[in-house]
């Protein structure tokens, strides 16, 4: 019989049948899924046994309730119809039923108690059925996690990365350089300060030379414009000599 102590034990047991899943099960390995599936399967078996117990108890209690109801109705109608003391109460049918009910108070108490046990049994069955449903959903989530991890291992890539995590020897990674060339570049020593200074000097010496024609054109433009701030007027010979000196200096700079 399902008494109050047994009901409390079932509630406590259902509260303990809970499985928490890891957010990153891939780092735990296949053994994690094997243990988790076995634990969930054991929980489901235990919940199934409790459901069977509740179903058997429900059948017994519901049968008893129907038997008590039928016996009470038959005895109630018999007393109401054939008992002379009830007929002498008066013509009011409600008064007669109240008198019959009082006489059958023990049978009615037994029927009320059986109905109460049936109600409690339905409430416990609802709690166990909910835990059974939750464990089935947990088993489905575990299998989904296992399927995702298997797909990740087979593809050799992480979520959101379509490229393989490891390249075969000589394979191009998409950046125009093979893995062998990258390894060779990483093995080369870092350039020293003397090497950097020599490369800088070489780049300066190899730069494009200045154009002589451009310097000459600048000098002629300078001569054509002349100087307007001179305090005195020079002769033609002095002017030609000064212009020649300026041109010579410019050519030397070049």
- Cα distance from N-terminal residue to C-terminal residue, the chain: 118
Residue 54 and residue 125 in contact, taking contact as beta carbons nearer than 8 Å: yes
What CATH fold (topology level) applies to the domain 4-155?
Helix Hairpins (1.10.287)
How would you write the pLDDT of the chain (254 residues) with one tens digit per residue?
777 888 889 999 999 988 888 877 767 777 788 888 899 999 999 999 999 999 999 999 999 999 999 998 888 888 888 878 877 777 778 888 888 888 888 999 999 999 988 998 999 999 999 999 999 999 988 888 888 777 776 776 554 444 444 545 554 445 555 666 666 666 666 556 666 566 566 554 555 444 445 555 555 565 555 544 444 444 556 666 666 665 566 555 55
Model pTM score? 0.53
Sequence ranges of the domains in the chain: 4-155, 212-223+236-254
In sequence order, which residues have a C-beta less than 8 Å from that of residue 128 and are 6 or more positions away?
Answer: 10, 14, 47, 50, 51, 54
Give the integer Cα–Cα distance in Å for 219 and 216: 5
What Rg value do the Cα atoms of the chain yield, rounded? 53
Residue 32 and residue 26 in contact, taking contact as beta carbons nearer than 8 Å: no
Q: What pLDDT sits at residue 193?
A: 62
């Amino acid at each position: 019989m399902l008494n109050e102590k047994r009901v409390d034990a079932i509630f406590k047991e259902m509260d303990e049948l809970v499985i928490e899943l890891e957010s990153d099960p891939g780092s735990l390995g296949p053994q994690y899924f094997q243990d988790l599936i076995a634990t969930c399967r054991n929980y489901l078996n235990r919940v199934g046994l409790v459901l069977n117990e509740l179903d058997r108890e429900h059948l017994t209690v519901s049968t008893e309730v129907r038997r008590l109801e039928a016996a009470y109705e038959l005895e109630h109608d018999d007393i109401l119809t054939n008992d002379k003391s009830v007929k002498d109460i008066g013509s009011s049918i409600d008064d007669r039923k109240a008198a019959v009910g009082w006489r059958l108070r023990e049978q009615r108490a037994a029927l009320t108690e059986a109905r109460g046990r049936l109600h409690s049994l339905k409430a416990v069955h609802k709690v166990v059925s909910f835990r059974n449903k939750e464990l089935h959903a947990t088993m489905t989530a575990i299998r989904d996690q296992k399927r995702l991890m298997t797909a990740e291992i087979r593809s050799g890539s992480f979520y959101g990365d379509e490229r393989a995590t490891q390249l075969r020897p000589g394979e191009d990674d998409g950046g125009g350089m093979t893995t062998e060339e990258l390894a060779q570049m990483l093995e080369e020593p870092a350039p020293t300060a003397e090497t950097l200074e020599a490369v800088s000097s070489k780049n300066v010496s190899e730069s494009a030379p200045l154009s002589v024609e451009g310097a000459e054109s600048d000098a002629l433009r300078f001569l054509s414009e002349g100087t307007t701030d001179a305090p005195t007027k020079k002769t033609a010979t002095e002017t030609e000599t000064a212009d020649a000196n300026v041109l010579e200096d410019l050519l030397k700079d070049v």
